[in-house]
Structure 1
Amino acid sequence: DALRTPVRRLIRESRTHPITLVNSGRFSSHWFIILTDVLVHVSGSSNHVTYPLATIWVEPMQDSDNIQTKNGLSLTMPEETMTLACPTAGDKMEWLVALQSAIRHALLIDDVGSSSSGRTTPPLVRSASYTFTKLPHLKDVTYKGAWLCGKMHGEGELNWPDGRVYKGSFRQNQQYGYGSSESFGPNGSTYEGSWKDGKMNGYGILKYANGDVYEGNFQDGQPHGHGTLKRGHFLTSAAHVYVGQWEAGQKCGYGVMDDIVTGEKYMGMWQADARHGQAVLVTLDGLYIEGSFTNNKMTGQCVMLLEDGTSYEGEVAGVGILGGKGLLQFPNGDIIQGTFHGSWSDGIKINATLTKASLTAQSPLSPPTGLSIGHFQQQNGSSGVPAERKWGAIFQQCCSTLGLSPNCTQWTADDSLRAWDQIAAVLNQCKQRTTNDHHIRPKIQHHLSVEIPEILQHIPDYGRNQLNGDEFVKIETYLHMALESEIHPLGKLAAQIGDVYRATYVGVGAHPRLLPHAVSEVHSFVSRVYAFVRLLFPALPEDRAVHLIPNGMYNKILLMTEPSNDHPQELQAVVSANTLLLPVLLPRLYPPLYTLYVLHNQKLDDLYWERLQKWNRQSDSALMNFLGVDPKFFIEEVAPEGSHFPTAVDCLQQLSTTFSPGRKLQVIHQTFQEVSRSVQAHLGADYVMNMDDLFPVFLFVVVRSRIRHLGTEIHLIEDFIDKHVQNGELDVMFTTLEVFLFL
């Protein structure tokens, strides 16, 4: 009576049409009833189980020597399987047809199987709803979605009795692929991202009930690899942002912690969620510390640099706490050497010897005034984490995506082919995913790019065995598209590089003493990305080497060097890791890097700017006379206010709007060309200026261009330009510009 409803009808039952349960007890009784929506199994006198027809898959069994399974039918349900046997082959066929017809009818009633109309058998893949009752981890959980032969497979939704929800992809009864989950209560959370074998695996975003957010990679349900944790809210007692490496849910490896409350930024090694190993720490007060941590406590030797130029090198008992032998040096050069105990805020007990510096001596540790990075590092040294040890997780992730070992020295030609195959697979998978499933990925859709440029949809056949101008242009074009793409493995890597760089050197990280670290990181990024690029295009030169292409074979000048022995009459285009990657990577890194250069060169730039403003108050003729310009070069051109050399001035002003050092050198080169054109237009096309004439004219152009941070521009070029370009005509032009800083 419990099964009676107005819409249910009896289709077939086993008392009239015999069918038995295989391997049942000798004295047990079983009664099978097919109703319009369920299969009922009655065992004994009253116990019964109902199976929704929409989630039953029935298959005829092959006849065998086993008498029990002769004329048998195999039934598969979400939580169990069942084998039934009929007396004759005819009975078997009648039961099979009855079951299949009832299943088709049930699917049509649920309005999820209309596409199967006209089929003689129900579809193996279907959509249906089912509530689990037996599986321990899914008891009382309701699933609605796609099935394949009794398994959750495809897109679907799980709902737990306590309110937990999962929506996304399944494979063989487990969450697999993209999906989102939500749970409630004090320990509740929401997750959106990749799954594998029922656990969070791959990239995802996890939001905790207390407001904390983790975004990054997961493995076996825990943060693992590279990720970002934002904890607390602004001005709360535990507000901070951590960007770095994780292992099994704990901070481990290199990472950057930005403590919003204390105003400290820690850049160093971690172990088991604790600061442990080499590190650099900067504060809002301008304090810069290099040293070593053990279980969250700074110990041993360290170097402290205060904002006013005071420095301490010696033993410490904590962050900002002096504790032992050391040397304290003041900006005026005075040195105190001995033992120190205490902190800057509470006072320091000193037992030491004071050595007065000469009144005219300059402190070697005074704030740098325009020294190059190489000189700065030589003076101050560095006990921080080497650049090549930073951010290893994001490069390991790229290796994993391309099917490569983390050690690039072991890569072979077979690895190159494998990497190209993996790139093609990733792009094709993303293309299908964004085409078919974009409607279920609203929150992280920005991580996927629907449109894939045509050049990325084919595996290139160039750059493998030889390198000429045309092939280099193709490689350059491909890399530009790849590094700008959000779904290409190299594009994802470039985006992560930009993210971690900004996380490190923005805010408290905008400290002038961090410039050497920032420059080293850029060089390291270029070197490590170039390893992937050269694997894909083996014809490119090795890292730190160059390949010269005659200008006649390359119609787009990047950087030029002097004629070679092979081409004595031609300038050569320099092909290297820097010329290939810096124009693409630097725009992502430029704002924080440029800010550090400005802070580092502030005194030099301020002196230059003060002098520049004074000189710019003069008229053109007065300024040119002051700079010693030959009167024959007093050339008023058709321009506002009849100015001199306006095209050259406009050209040089582009120095501040370009990113790569190669492009900046081109601007300088073009400025000299504009000066020559103006002179030749006035004195004749055959007129050639010598350096004695050109130097004061170029100084006039520099003054009138009013470049605010010329020292910054010059030192940025010095730190990133290839040595092969530091000779010949370009080097003379660059040196001429550099001299102006020290006039």
Structure 2
Amino acid sequence: MCSPEEEALLQLEEVFLATLDRINGQVLQPLLEAEPSDPQGKECRRLLLQLQSSCQQLWEATEKSLHSLRERLRHPDAVGLESVQLLCGADHVLRVHVEYIESYTSCVVVQAFQKAAKWRSEYWRAQRKALRQLLWGMGSERATGPALVQALRQPLTHHVQQYVLLLLSLGDTIGDRHPARELVVRTASLFGSLQSFLRQALDQAEATQALWRTLSSRPRDALRTPARRLLQDSQDIPVTVAPLRAERVLLFDDVLVLLQGHSVHTFDLKLVWVDPEQDGCALHLLTPEEELFFSSENPQDQAIWRWKITQAVCQALRGKKDFPVLGAGPEPSETPTCRSVAYTFLAEGRLCQATYEGEWCRGRPHGKGTLKWPDGRNHVGSFCQGLEHGFGICLVPQASEDKFDCYKCHWREGSMCGYGICEHGTDQVYKGHFRDGLRHGFGVLESAPQLPGPCKYTGHWERGQRSGYGVQEDRDRGERYIGMWQANQRHGPGVMVTQAGVCYQGNFQADKMVGPGVLLSEDDSLYEGTFTRDLVLLGKGKVTFPNGFTLEGSFGSGAGSGLHTQGLLDTAAPPPDPSSTCKRQLGLGAFPVESRWQGVYGPFRDFVRAGCPGHLQEALLGFHVQSSRELRRSQEYLCCERTPPDDSVGRMEDILEELLRHREPAALQSYLTKALSSSLHPLGMLLRTLMQTFQATYAGIGANKHLQGLAQEEVKQHARELWAAYRGLLQVALQRKGQALEEEEEDTETRDLRMHGLVLPLILPSFYSELFTLYLLLHEREDSLYSQGLANLSLFPDTKLLEFLDVQKHLWPLKDLTLTTNQRHSLVKDKCFLSATECLQKIITTVDPREKLEVLERTYGEIEATVSRVLGREHKLPMDDLLPLLIYVVSRARIQHLGAEIHLIRDMMDPIHTGGLYDFLLTALESCYEHLQRHDMHRHDMHRLPSRRDSREPW
């Protein structure tokens, strides 16, 4: 059986549904039949259309509620109370009521009913009687506009009030154990809140409407919008504001307004912070460009302003009006500190007219965001207290259309600081470090090949200029300069290498070589003397020719072309050793190896001394980014794919933890191999930078034999520095665990042993291509004689060659020579000592000097094993027997560039092997190499070789 409250609800819904029909038919529809032409009339019509749409939705929700109540009354046993739409769909019913209230109050604020009533004044005079029925008996003396306002307001307020009363009564009637008890109580609470919300919304709308009448046209036109509501007026609760000294303060639900004469200062509430640390005498507000101090003679008035501003800011940040009422529920103690909002700066300064969109903190851009200027400049990245700080990408437009300078860099307090990549609209690219917005530290500047005067500089910078040690290549002139710089000019000791093979070494001043110097020509002629600023021989000097002749005197340029000299030509000097003539090295002593690349190692040492802070890791060591061609073409593609900050491989904490787990010698080599090969590990990043410097110095034009000494000592120095870098990281890792590094491991001898035995073999493959090329060029003449010797000895069959090399016959492995039909021992080739030959050939399959020496040791073992098998007993070869056998194996192995291989092994081998077995075997291999170059081996008697005619006879 249904309760009287349910029947009353049914009657209430029937009456309200009929009222909504009359409102739509007799008020809204007639108002909308007119078509105003003025802008204000069009705005009012838009609001009335919105109100009609809200009224229709409210009618539909009421109709569904009425239908469910009728079903309940017809079948009370079959249809439960909880199926009534007003209860089960309370949230939806509530929402359409709120939307209707907001639409209605917007019309009230701009006096839409009063303005629309004028459109059809004759119609309204004829509808007085019907309108009075809507007004529930009100007199006819009220004007049409206010009557329309009341016609929509009174039925709604009465309806919501009756909802609350009937739902509360229904909750008391059905009892605590009724299944729909909680549902009824919740619905009553919701509509109780709606009643409060309606009352507040109507009050705010009326206060806002009244406010617009008190303002002059200029501020009213600037501020009035249908959705804006007045929350507080300083004329009601006085307050003074400094430093602007506003005449009137208006707090709306979206902005704070200060009126000062004809000036209107507007502050978006989303960008207003209430400082919780203000003193008791003033309310401190923070905005992007102003700091405001509110004060009042009455502390209670100031507290009201503080409370209302705080509530309004919180509501604005939520993006919707508070429900049930402004400030209801848990009151926030302060406004949220961090926000994400867009704002355009207006005050003069570097941010004038710039729009920032992103995260804020206490009135300043703070966090991730985008800053855009009207002229096309953009900055996307991290900000701290209003300044660019952290990684960011900046685009600066150039005069040419679609041309931008693109800066992908780390920033500190508004300036580039740390590692960055800058791609200029001129197609120049700089990759390196910055300080205070200028290139500073190690960096590489390269221009596109298609540009006039293409060049590439790799080296140190100071305050935006080339200074310190650096390498520059001029591709048009085919020159590479290696040496010292100052203020963007070559200054100090330097070496110039040309594509034609000519090399200069001397002192440079103001970009020109002056004073005494050295010139090495491609044919190994040597000039020692003075030069002009254009590298022309001038003054006293001495020329040493490859044949040993010397010319000493004065040099100069005459009226015509060519070189003029007056001096003494000495032809009596004995001819020099050709190998020593071509092996003159440049740069040794001029640039101490310890000071060459301090721009790379210095910042890394500082990073380690600082304790390896993770947030500085990328700023120091660099990042990997995608190709930025799209980035430079358009402002719309501001992006940068970098190593994810949460990548466990690259996080500094994980790197140091893993380092501690692999300290033992058994695990250390494996760990260093992995670290040096990883672009995410500091050691791997460091190695890649050093590879870049090495290639910039010694590849291409720099592949000159006179630079081999520089390159060799540089690779060794890199190994020392990388070991020191590892030790520095280990020390930081131990300090974080409260431990200390063992002092005994820090001595020079141990460090050098580690460098040669552990680090050098691991990094040598990274430099091997350029380094081995220099060895090839340096020993080209020796290798040419060696190759000629190999070619001559390759004509010998095995037995003939063994005889020629004076190998004792009882050591010949003739049983290894398998003969075919009509074949003799004297015709078989490449069969004797085959295992040793194949073993020695593996020396070119590795770059590690130790592994090459191990190949040589195994080759020696294979030779002895073969001899022992021939003799049928264990046999140790003396040097007199080993050397000819080793010459035989070397000649059959036919290893190209053996001289370059031998010298590289000798220079890079671990000093611990000096005087040991490896040293002995390498010395033996050197002797074989020298034997194969000798002229007497090339002038062998060809008639000693078997001819076709006697080839069948036994040898």
User: Same fold per TM (> 0.5)?
Assistant: yes
Paired with 1:157 and 1:96, the residues of 2 have a C-alpha distance of 31
2:647 aligned with 1:458, yes or no?
A: no
3-state SS of 1:545 partner: helix
1:329 maps to: 544
TM-fit CA distance, 1:696: 3.4
Paired with 1:491 and 1:345, the residues of 2 have a C-alpha distance of 57
User: 1:276/1:594 Cα in 2 relative to 1: closer, same or farther (>3 Å)?
Assistant: same
> Which has the larger share of strand?
1
User: 1:604/1:147 Cα in 2 relative to 1: closer, same or farther (>3 Å)?
Assistant: same
2:357 maps to: 144
Which residues in structure 2 correspond to 1:217-256 (within 5 Å)? 217-231=433-447, 233-234=449-450, 236-256=451-471
Paired with 2:895 and 2:224, the residues of 1 have a C-alpha distance of 87
TM-fit CA distance, 1:206: 1.7
Which residues in structure 2 correspond to 1:626-665 (within 5 Å)? 626-627=804-805, 628=807, 630-634=810-814, 636=816, 643-665=831-853
Paired with 1:355 and 1:649, the residues of 2 have a C-alpha distance of 49
> Which has the larger share of helix?
2
2:382 aligned with 1:169, yes or no?
A: yes
1:670 maps to: 858
Paired with 1:423 and 1:617, the residues of 2 have a C-alpha distance of 67
Q: Which has the higher contact order (CA 8 A, sep 6+)?
A: 1
1:74 maps to: 284
Paired with 2:878 and 2:375, the residues of 1 have a C-alpha distance of 85
2:227 aligned with 1:8, yes or no?
A: yes
User: 1:172/1:298 Cα in 2 relative to 1: closer, same or farther (>3 Å)?
Assistant: same
Aligned pair count reads 665
Find the partner of 1:393 among 590, 599, 612. 599
Contact 1:181 1:192 in 2 (8 A): yes
2:253 maps to: 36
1:20 maps to: 239
Match of 2:602, as an amino acid? Q
Contact 1:251 1:271 in 2 (8 A): yes
3-state SS of 1:143 partner: strand
Contact 2:338 2:362 in 1 (8 A): yes
Which residues in structure 2 correspond to 1:358-373 (within 5 Å)? 361-363=574-576, 366=578, 368=580
Which residues in structure 2 correspond to 1:45-124 (within 5 Å)? 46-59=262-275, 64=280, 69=281, 72-85=282-295, 91-92=301-302, 94-109=304-319, 120=332, 122-124=335-337
Which residues in structure 2 correspond to 1:356-505 (within 5 Å)? 356-357=571-572, 361-363=574-576, 366=578, 368=580, 376=584, 382=588, 384-403=590-609, 421-422=611-612, 443=640, 445=642, 450-452=647-649, 456-458=655-657, 460=659, 471-505=664-698
Contact 1:652 1:668 in 2 (8 A): yes
Contact 1:279 1:293 in 2 (8 A): yes
Match of 2:494, as an amino acid? A
3-state SS of 2:375 partner: coil
3-state SS of 2:470 partner: strand
Match of 1:76, as an amino acid? L
User: 1:532/1:77 Cα in 2 relative to 1: closer, same or farther (>3 Å)?
Assistant: same
3-state SS of 2:531 partner: strand
User: 1:718/1:580 Cα in 2 relative to 1: closer, same or farther (>3 Å)?
Assistant: same
1:456-490 deviation line (CA, Å, top 9, x unaligned): 34175589xxxxxx832333333333333334333
2:282 aligned with 1:282, yes or no?
A: no
Match of 2:365, as an amino acid? M
Paired with 1:624 and 1:174, the residues of 2 have a C-alpha distance of 81
Paired with 2:789 and 2:862, the residues of 1 have a C-alpha distance of 25
Paired with 1:447 and 1:620, the residues of 2 have a C-alpha distance of 63
TM-fit CA distance, 1:619: 4.0
User: 1:601/1:63 Cα in 2 relative to 1: closer, same or farther (>3 Å)?
Assistant: closer
TM-fit CA distance, 1:123: 2.5
Paired with 2:313 and 2:654, the residues of 1 have a C-alpha distance of 49
3-state SS of 2:759 partner: helix
User: 1:329/1:162 Cα in 2 relative to 1: closer, same or farther (>3 Å)?
Assistant: same
3-state SS of 2:476 partner: coil
Identity of aligned residues (%): 32
Contact 2:494 2:587 in 1 (8 A): no
1:584-622 deviation line (CA, Å, top 9, x unaligned): 221121111100000111111111122223323444444
TM-fit CA distance, 1:660: 2.7
Contact 1:41 1:50 in 2 (8 A): yes
Task: In structure 2, list runs of 5 or more residues that go unmatched.
Answer: 1-219, 322-328, 625-630, 632-636, 731-740, 819-827, 932-955
1:89-134 deviation line (CA, Å, top 9, x unaligned): 66555544543343333334399xxxxx999454211100011112
Match of 1:10, as an amino acid? R
2:941 maps to: none
Find the partner of 1:733 among 921, 928, 937. 921
3-state SS of 2:816 partner: coil
Find the partner of 1:203 among 396, 419, 425. 419
TM-fit CA distance, 1:145: 0.4
3-state SS of 1:445 partner: coil
Which residues in structure 2 correspond to 1:715-730 (within 5 Å)? 715-730=903-918
Match of 2:250, as an amino acid? I
1:545 maps to: 749
2:518 aligned with 1:303, yes or no?
A: yes
User: 1:135/1:667 Cα in 2 relative to 1: closer, same or farther (>3 Å)?
Assistant: farther
The worse-fitting range, judged by mean Cα deviation, of 13-22 and 297-306 is 13-22
User: 1:93/1:199 Cα in 2 relative to 1: closer, same or farther (>3 Å)?
Assistant: same
User: 1:424/1:672 Cα in 2 relative to 1: closer, same or farther (>3 Å)?
Assistant: farther
Contact 1:449 1:485 in 2 (8 A): no
TM-fit CA distance, 1:266: 0.7
Contact 1:337 1:354 in 2 (8 A): yes
User: 1:427/1:141 Cα in 2 relative to 1: closer, same or farther (>3 Å)?
Assistant: closer
User: 1:632/1:208 Cα in 2 relative to 1: closer, same or farther (>3 Å)?
Assistant: closer
Contact 2:272 2:363 in 1 (8 A): yes
User: 1:323/1:49 Cα in 2 relative to 1: closer, same or farther (>3 Å)?
Assistant: same
3-state SS of 1:704 partner: helix
2:21 maps to: none
Match of 1:337, as an amino acid? E
2:760 maps to: 582
1:489-527 deviation line (CA, Å, top 9, x unaligned): 333322221111110001110111111221222233233
TM-fit CA distance, 1:225: 0.9
Paired with 1:193 and 1:398, the residues of 2 have a C-alpha distance of 18
The worse-fitting range, judged by mean Cα deviation, of 187-196 and 245-254 is 187-196
TM-score by length of 1: 0.81
2:422 aligned with 1:216, yes or no?
A: no
Contact 2:811 2:870 in 1 (8 A): no
The worse-fitting range, judged by mean Cα deviation, of 650-659 and 726-735 is 650-659
Contact 2:257 2:264 in 1 (8 A): yes
Task: In structure 1, list runs of 5 or more residues that go unmatched.
Answer: 112-116, 404-417, 464-469, 548-573
User: 1:661/1:680 Cα in 2 relative to 1: closer, same or farther (>3 Å)?
Assistant: same
TM-fit CA distance, 1:29: 5.3
Paired with 2:443 and 2:246, the residues of 1 have a C-alpha distance of 59
Find the partner of 2:705 among 504, 508, 512. 512
